[in-house]
Structure 1
Amino acid sequence: MNLSVQAVAVWGKIAPSHSITAIMITDDQQTIVTGSEEGQICLWDLSSELKISSKEILFGHTASVTCLAKAREFEKQPYVVSATENGEMCVWNVTSGQCIENTKLPYRHTAIYYYHCSFRITGEGWLLCCGEYQDVLIIDAKTLGVLHTLSSSQSSDWINCMCIVHSARIQEDSLVAVSVTGVLKVWDLSLSLNSIQERQSVYEKESKSLDCINCQAVQFCTYTERLLLVVSSTCWQVYDYCDFSLLCTEFCKSGQCFAGGEVLAAYRLIIWTEDGHSYIYQLLNSGLSKSIYPADGKVLKETVYPHLLCFTGVKENKSFPFVMGFMNERKEPFYKVLFSGEASGRITLWHVPDVPVSTFDGSPKEISITATWTLQDNFDKHHLMSEGIIDHLCVAKDGTENAVVSTSVYIPSLDKLVCGCENGKIFVTLGLKTARARLLENTSLLKENLPYKVLNGHSSRVTCLLYPHDKSVRFDPSWLLSGGQDSIVICWDIFTGGILHQFSLQSGPVAELLQSPENYQLKDHSIVFCVCSDHSVAILHLQKRVCLLHARKHLSPVKKIKFDPVENMLMVGCEDDSVYIWEVETG
């Protein structure tokens, strides 16, 4: 009989870190989805009054989330897809929180768009993806397998941004994209469906070089089917979609960088910046005036001018980077919502009026914040929130908490829970008994009868922990390793709490402690590897208590380590695809 084990998380009073890197609102405007630098996906309830409350945290990624998108027609299946820096992709059911499908591909996506033509595409539709690779990938929305590529006949390059253009007037779909070098490309999706399904080459139907470097967004105006908005970090521009002639250019203020934009209505745009501000413009002359070229043909004379109607701003946490988006839902409750997520974990919403107007004197009007919320706000709201599993150990005599857990490891063979803290302390206690007492709120058992040790040795935050005996019996069962922000690795006796040895690396914070695979180890080798924040790698011999090698010349983050004790060679693979081979004896 199969036994199911239900995992229970005891968070404590401090919310987990959730540095937002991607944000979206579902089509029904009932759920906000955020991805984080830590790799978690967070689901937030959004009420009809635009009130926010966190609902679930989904774990499945091991790297920072780069983008989010819907993965089905939302009325039928409430699915979203997430992608990360290391190529992981997951499809989530935002109603149940279940991971429906996952894969890992050798591609780093920066934008994903769902596309489905029900009467011409079999299956669940396609995910059109762009990122740090050439052109556009077509991925099956159900299996997450790569189906095909939209290729370039010329100027093949990475795509910075793109959008799907659906023309209701002629019932045709196109994909408009802008490359990192500012080349605009248009692929005809409607005419290419058969070629894509038959795996024939598909090339762009149009290509034009724009005066636009570092493009952040491109959007098609479905209201007029004539305007194309292109946003770069220094300016935004409006083009005539029929001939790609330039109609309007507006440069950003000094010290600001544009980060994206959307079409609000016919001849009305909203543009936002990296620091969380946004601006709503009305295009005068209806935005359809013909571009006029002077006689010398050198300078384009623009005849369309933007008028600033409204703006939004932020009043605090200005130092945090923002990711922003806009939701223009035409179903009830008919909200136009501008939303942002910060690296601090804060979500902010602005309800944009259906008809934004300036003040009576013609100056731009500020739109106030409608709602703002963080995970910590949820934790503070629920006063009955359970304490953390070792909170009873982290309270000073005056009742104030003096330690926040920064890293932890559970040792099943010893039933010991080891927690490293921000203040450099390490707590060692019984894992299962402490968890049981905490869940059952047995305070007397926690404070009086459960043994624990406090290990003092680090001067600042403990960054990583390793109990090597769990993975290899060649290591002494008493050894516990800790790495800190103070660039020190300490070998402890876990039974006595004493320090056996300190390795001072002087290479910045210790990022990771690793073991070599069992089949690479000899009987007299008790070796672990230490990866530091400056991309250096140290080989530490625990039995001899010496650093055999400190390799410091890697130019990018370390991705993989292999050690051959027979040849006495260390091989280090980095994220820039470089490989370094070190001779341990000579360095």
Structure 2
Amino acid sequence: MPGTSLVVPIVLWGKYAPTHCISCIYLSKDLKTLATGCYDGQICLWQVDPDTLKMTPRCLLVGHSAPIICLSTASIIQDNNYIVSSSEAGEMCTWDLVDGKCRESVKLPQVHTNIQAYLMSSCDDIRLFCNGYYPEIIVMDPFSLEILFMLSSRYNPDWISALHVIRPAKRKDDVVLALTTTGTVKVWTLLGHENKHCEPIYENESKQIETINAICLRCCAYNQRTVLIVCTKHWLIYDAG
């Protein structure tokens, strides 16, 4: 249109539409928007009817050049409809779920396999706790996609296969519980003043267990000492104490 700066993106494909073989999913808190990442690098937004569970494709987000590994929310505010995606090529994008616009993008040397969105006691919005094909835990801002700080390992450093961030009852600090691919459990305590300019942040505790290559780790919401670890062929329950 003459005299305007309006840009309308149009995606075209040949005789066949993308296969959209799903690699990861994200469901909004109101259960009305489903985002599915695929091995072709696209993200599809689906409109969901919570009553009938009918799903209607609404928008296709194109911007990644590799398979999508993980999707995560970008805010705790209900009306702030943003998600973060990460691909096998180290690409990260923050997307607007309303119009499908990419708000921010970055390419990192690290490849994430899991992202947990968590509201720390020291900030007003969430932080992204990322782990993957590298020995650290990377904490990022979901909108600027800036690395805020990293959690490093002093003992038996290895790739982190699963993590969970919790706030112990009656305490103001945050605790990161993680498990390496070789079965070392690590615990970090965050006091709220961590930043990328401070000294390396090493674990407070480290212990070897027999579980290797875990894919998920969660602490019970009612008894945080109870830890569920899920592997590809079995699951285990540990006492964190």
> Contact 1:166–1:222 at 8 Å: present in 2 too?
no
Aligned counterpart, 2:130: 129
Amino acid of the structure 2 residue aligned with 1:141: P
1:62 to 62, 65, 86: 65
Query: Cα offset for 1:2?
Result: 5.4
Query: Cα offset for 1:197?
Result: 6.5
SS in 2 for 1:127: strand
SS in 2 for 1:196: coil
SS in 2 for 1:134: strand
Aligned counterpart, 1:395: none
Aligned counterpart, 2:90: 87
Aligned counterpart, 1:43: 45
> Contact 1:218–1:231 at 8 Å: present in 2 too?
yes
> Contact 1:196–1:202 at 8 Å: present in 2 too?
no
Query: Cα offset for 1:166?
Result: 2.8
Query: Cα offset for 1:217?
Result: 0.9
> Contact 1:228–1:239 at 8 Å: present in 2 too?
yes
SS in 2 for 1:112: strand
Query: Cα offset for 1:130?
Result: 0.7
Query: Cα offset for 1:74?
Result: 3.9
Residue correspondence of structure 1 range 14-25 to structure 2 within 5 A: 14-25=16-27
1: distance between equivalents of 2:146 and 2:172?
28
Aligned counterpart, 1:226: 225
Q: Where does structure 1 differ by over 4 angstroms across 4 or more consecutive aligned residues?
A: 9-14
Aligned counterpart, 1:116: 119
Aligned counterpart, 1:214: 213
Amino acid of the structure 1 residue aligned with 2:75: R
- Aligned pair in 2 of structure 1 residues 169, 225: CA closer, same or farther (>3 Å)? farther
Query: Cα offset for 1:195?
Result: 3.2
> Contact 2:147–2:196 at 8 Å: present in 1 too?
no
SS in 2 for 1:114: strand
Work out whether 1:97 is the aligned partner of 2:97: no
1: distance between equivalents of 2:208 and 2:161?
14
Q: For 1:528-583, what per-residue CA distance to the aligned partner results, in whole angstroms no more than 9, with x for missing partners?
A: xxxxxxxxxxxxxxxxxxxxxxxxxxxxxxxxxxxxxxxxxxxxxxxxxxxxxxxx
Q: For 1:56-96, what per-residue CA distance to the aligned partner results, in whole angstroms no more than 9, with x for missing partners?
A: 11011111111111111141411110011111100011122
1: distance between equivalents of 2:33 and 2:118?
21
2: distance between equivalents of 1:76 and 1:4?
25
Q: For 1:245-290, what per-residue CA distance to the aligned partner results, in whole angstroms no more than 9, with x for missing partners?
A: xxxxxxxxxxxxxxxxxxxxxxxxxxxxxxxxxxxxxxxxxxxxxx
2: distance between equivalents of 1:126 and 1:154?
25
Query: Cα offset for 1:10?
Result: 5.7
> Contact 1:176–1:184 at 8 Å: present in 2 too?
yes
Q: Which has more helix, going by share of residues?
A: 1
2: distance between equivalents of 1:61 and 1:69?
16
The range that moved more, 82-91 or 134-143, is 134-143
Amino acid of the structure 2 residue aligned with 1:208: K
Amino acid of the structure 2 residue aligned with 1:211: E
Q: For 1:131-183, what per-residue CA distance to the aligned partner results, in whole angstroms no more than 9, with x for missing partners?
A: 11112012222211222210112111110111112334445421111101011
Query: Cα offset for 1:196?
Result: 3.1
User: Normalized against structure 1, the TM-score is what?
Assistant: 0.38
2: distance between equivalents of 1:71 and 1:116?
11
> Contact 1:115–1:125 at 8 Å: present in 2 too?
yes
Work out whether 1:73 is the aligned partner of 2:76: yes
2: distance between equivalents of 1:53 and 1:5?
25
1: distance between equivalents of 2:92 and 2:222?
33
Residue correspondence of structure 1 range 506-521 to structure 2 within 5 A: none
> Contact 2:120–2:127 at 8 Å: present in 1 too?
no
Query: Cα offset for 1:200?
Result: 2.9
2: distance between equivalents of 1:133 and 1:10?
36
Aligned counterpart, 2:200: 201
Structure with more relative contact order (C-alpha pairs < 8 Å, separation 6 or more):
2
Q: For 1:484-507, what per-residue CA distance to the aligned partner results, in whole angstroms no more than 9, with x for missing partners?
A: xxxxxxxxxxxxxxxxxxxxxxxx
Amino acid of the structure 1 residue aligned with 2:74: A
> Contact 1:27–1:74 at 8 Å: present in 2 too?
no
Residue correspondence of structure 1 range 393-432 to structure 2 within 5 A: none
> Contact 1:165–1:175 at 8 Å: present in 2 too?
yes
Query: Cα offset for 1:11?
Result: 6.2
Give the gaps of 5 or more residues in structure 2.
none
- Aligned pair in 2 of structure 1 residues 28, 197: CA closer, same or farther (>3 Å)? farther
- Aligned pair in 2 of structure 1 residues 126, 84: CA closer, same or farther (>3 Å)? same
* Percent identical residues: 36
Give the gaps of 5 or more residues in structure 1.
244-587
C-alpha root-mean-square deviation of aligned residues, in Å?
Answer: 2.1
2: distance between equivalents of 1:89 and 1:197?
19
> Contact 1:216–1:231 at 8 Å: present in 2 too?
yes
2: distance between equivalents of 1:65 and 1:194?
32
Query: Cα offset for 1:117?
Result: 2.9
Work out whether 1:147 is the aligned partner of 2:148: yes
- Aligned pair in 2 of structure 1 residues 42, 206: CA closer, same or farther (>3 Å)? same
- Aligned pair in 2 of structure 1 residues 14, 168: CA closer, same or farther (>3 Å)? farther
Q: For 1:209-237, what per-residue CA distance to the aligned partner results, in whole angstroms no more than 9, with x for missing partners?
A: 11111111111101222310011223211
- Aligned pair in 2 of structure 1 residues 26, 3: CA closer, same or farther (>3 Å)? closer
Query: Cα offset for 1:6?
Result: 2.8
- Aligned pair in 2 of structure 1 residues 33, 188: CA closer, same or farther (>3 Å)? same
Residue correspondence of structure 1 range 244-283 to structure 2 within 5 A: none
